[in-house]
Each structure stands twice: as structure tokens, then as C-alpha cells.
Amino acid sequence: MITGTLRTSKSEEIFAAAQQLMPGGVSSPVRAFKSVGGQPIVFDRVKGAYAWDVDGNQYIDYVGTWGPAICGHAHPDVIRAIQEAAEKGTSFGAPCALENVLAEMVIDAVPSVEMVRFVNSGTEACMAVLRLMRAFTGREKVIKFEGCYHGHADMFLVKAGSGVATLGLPDSPGVPKSTTASTLTAPYNDLDAVRQLFEENPGEIAGLILEPVVGNAGFIVPEAGFLAGLRELTQEHGALLVFDEVMTGFRISYGGAQEKFGITPDLTTLGKVIGGGLPVGAYGGRKDIMAMVAPAGPMYQAGTLSGNPLAMTAGIKTLELLRRPGSYEHLDRVTSRLIAGLLDVAKETGHAASGGSISGMFGLFFAEGPVHNYEDAKKSDLVKFSKFHRGMLEQGVYLAPSQFEAGFTSLAHTDEEVDRTIEAAKAVMSNL
């Protein structure tokens, strides 16, 4: 384990050059260390529960490439399958039998999905699902929740959580008011607010989209009755219920949050895990709704690289590994031990903290809990989080560089990594 000051000279050199070449030196803003200070660490390679940076430091990784690495980084079975698939070509631009295989796996696993369309990212899946909600209902308005992130499309960049929150941008310039005018927002876990929006906009709301467990405002769980209440309200008002399971799909359980909580939405978006580390997104749901999508129906949506054999292969292999008996029991056990340990350490060292976990997804807020919504999450001590983040990095633990991100474990995280992480937290929190 690394103690003391990190060696970062190579990371600094590469990042300095990157800043001249790419805005902010990164390809996605969440990778920068804007909210925690300091400079991002440049990775060299990843394996299992670990990442190594270009200066040779080793970290226990709780970001897991933001979710996809649920079997552990660079799982040998996934890598071998990708290598074999690549021999036959990386993209066909024509139907490929592997699409059927992954589609069947998704349809079998996710209760709401009777038919599926593959795309290349979670953002794309959410953009398409929004068009589909409007096409199917003939209505324009949609409801989203404060702190929920549904990709970077214009219509969703309203109170959109982590990435945006971290940069302190309440919205983004370049998003026309006309685009977000039909995006209504409500606080998470607040059924009355949703009921009121439906009453104020009779017959105008196409549907409601949410993260069934929030991971983009830290980690926030739905209160008892919240998801069921949304299911009832949408049905009552002829609106569609959409679960954005880009993060929770195949992570909270094999069938996602909808299986875990027993609430079936009309449509679902997926991403992250189903690509096994390659770019894949998907949207799916009721057959009568999916029949609207071109070329079966009139709603246009397309993609040059969508359903390519390489990405399908990585997804198929990843799901095969996940459906082995004991996968989710392992994730549950390891992750709840981790969060219990971290909360104990916080208590022992006198820091207000709250947090929780479901399966391989967790969160820790430096705030008196419980955290019910984004407003609560924002009461966290961000200065303390920054110091904690830096301290953990120096102890060889890589956490997401923002208080407003969930953490992820994988099948490769064992008691050994968890114990070392708790020890590291003890050392860091004692000195906060």
C-alpha cells in the first residue's frame, strides 16, 4: 500500500499536455478533479479490483470505469471473447446474430423489457426513450427529478446532478430555454410534488423518468411506496413510467431495480454494465410501445455502430459471468461490509456521515443522514470530502472525485480489499 505522498510526476506531465489538446484535459468532465482539488491521476492499466497509474501507483478502484467493470476490470473471459470476436471484424453495419443473443438475455432478465433497441451510450438511450415517450403519447411534457442524471442531451440538463453539480453549473449554456421548457422537475422521494405537476398539466405529461435508485447525486434510495406511487400516478394520468437503469441495470440485481423493488415501468434505459466495458446503451419496454420505433414504426432513431459484434460480445460475456449463482450475494455482502466499516470509522473518529448500499452500489455522505433527496445531499461537507478523497488516494484507494457520485464494487472485490479500505479510512479520518 502507498503511504505518504503520491508520486505523480508522470500524471502531471501527461495532464499538462492534455489540457492543451482537449478542453479541461479530459474526455468527460467527471474524470477531472475539479471538485476535490488537485490533478487527476492518469491510469495506465486496470485488472480485477485494481488500477495502476502511469507513475506506478496501485489503487483499489471503487469507480470501476463508472459502473461497467462489475465482473472486475479486464476479466480474462471478457478479454478473450473480445479478442476472438475482433478477428471476425469489429463492426458489420448489417444484422449480426450476437444482437439476438444479448437482446434475449436482456428481455429474459429485465421485467419491463419485451423488445429492445441497442445504441452506443446511456445518453443516446435516454434521448431516444424521450422521443419515444412523446411519440407514443402524443404529449410533450416530461417530469424528471432533481439530482437525477439522464445523459447530456439538452432536454435533460435541468437539475441534473453529479457532473453538472460538481462543476457548479445549475444548467448548461447552449441549452435553449425552449428545449427544457417542457421538462418539469420534482424533488426525489416527493410523491405530492409529482401529483401536483400532473394536476397543473392535465393531459399534457407524456411520462416520468427517474433513476429508481439515484447514483448521480451520491447514493439515494427510494422510500417505501415512492416507486409504487409513481406507477399508480402515471397509470392514472395515462403517462408512461420510465426507469433509467443505465447505472442500476444488472447491478442492483440481475433484473435491475425494477426486479429488486417489484415495480415494472413501461420503458427502461440501460447502459454501463450491458456493454461490459465497451460502448453500449439500450432502451426497451412494452412491445406495443417499442413497435413505434423505426423501421417497425414511424419514430426515427439509428446508429452506425449500434449492435456491433465487439460490443455485443463484451456485454454477453459480462452477463454470463453475472448470472452465475452467488454473484449478487457476493456484491451485497462485500459492499455492505464496506459501508458498515466506513460508517463505523466515521463514528469512531467523530465525523457526521450517512450512507448505504444495495448490491454492488454504495454511497457515503459527510452529512447527518438520512439523505432523501438532492437538497439533503447538498448539505454534505464538501471540504471534508475533498480531504478524505485525497487522503484515500494517498492510501491507495481510488474513489470517485465527487461527493455526488455513487461508488461501485465488483466480483473481484473481496474481504481483503474491503479490510484494507477500512484501515485506510481509519488513518485518513483520524486526521481530517
Ligand X SMILES: *Cc1c(COP(=O)(O)O)cnc(C)c1O
The footprint of ligand X (CB under 6 A) covers: 121-123, 126, 149-151, 211, 215-216, 244, 246-247, 271, 281
Catalytic-labelled residue, pool 59, 149, 254, 283? 149
Indicate the pairing of strand 43-47 with strand 281-285.
unpaired
328 is an active site residue: no
CB-nearer residue toward ligand X: 126 or 239? 126
Indicate the pairing of strand 205-210 with strand 240-244.
parallel
Neighbours of 55 (CB within 10 A): 17
- Minimum Å gap between C-beta 172 and ligand X is 15
- Minimum Å gap between C-beta 104 and ligand X is 22
Spatial neighbors of 301 by CB under 8 A, at least 6 apart, are 117, 119, 128, 131, 132, 293, 294
- Minimum Å gap between C-beta 236 and ligand X is 26
Indicate the pairing of strand 115-119 with strand 58-61.
unpaired
Q: Measure the CA–CA gap between 304 and 331, rounded to whole angstroms.
A: 35
**Does the bond joining 40 to the residue before it have cis omega, within 30 degrees of 0?**
no
- Minimum Å gap between C-beta 65 and ligand X is 11
CB-nearer residue toward ligand X: 128 or 429? 128
244 is an active site residue: yes
CB-nearer residue toward ligand X: 312 or 424? 312
Catalytic-labelled residue, pool 34, 144, 159, 272? 272
Dihedral sign, CA of 84, 86, 88, 94? positive
- Minimum Å gap between C-beta 269 and ligand X is 7
Give the Å distances, CA to CA, from 251 to 223, 358, 409: 19, 9, 10
Cell digits of residue 97: 446474430
DSSP letters for 309-363: HHHHHHHHHHHHHHTSTTHHHHHHHHHHHHHHHHHHHHHHTT---EEEEETTEEE
Catalytic-labelled residue, pool 53, 61, 244, 376? 244
- Minimum Å gap between C-beta 336 and ligand X is 21
Residue nearest to ligand X (CB): 122
CB-nearer residue toward ligand X: 183 or 216? 216
CB-nearer residue toward ligand X: 247 or 263? 247
Angle in degrees, CA 40, 43, 46, rounded to 5: 140
CB-nearer residue toward ligand X: 57 or 301? 301
272 is an active site residue: yes
Q: Which residues are designated catalytic? A: 149, 244, 272
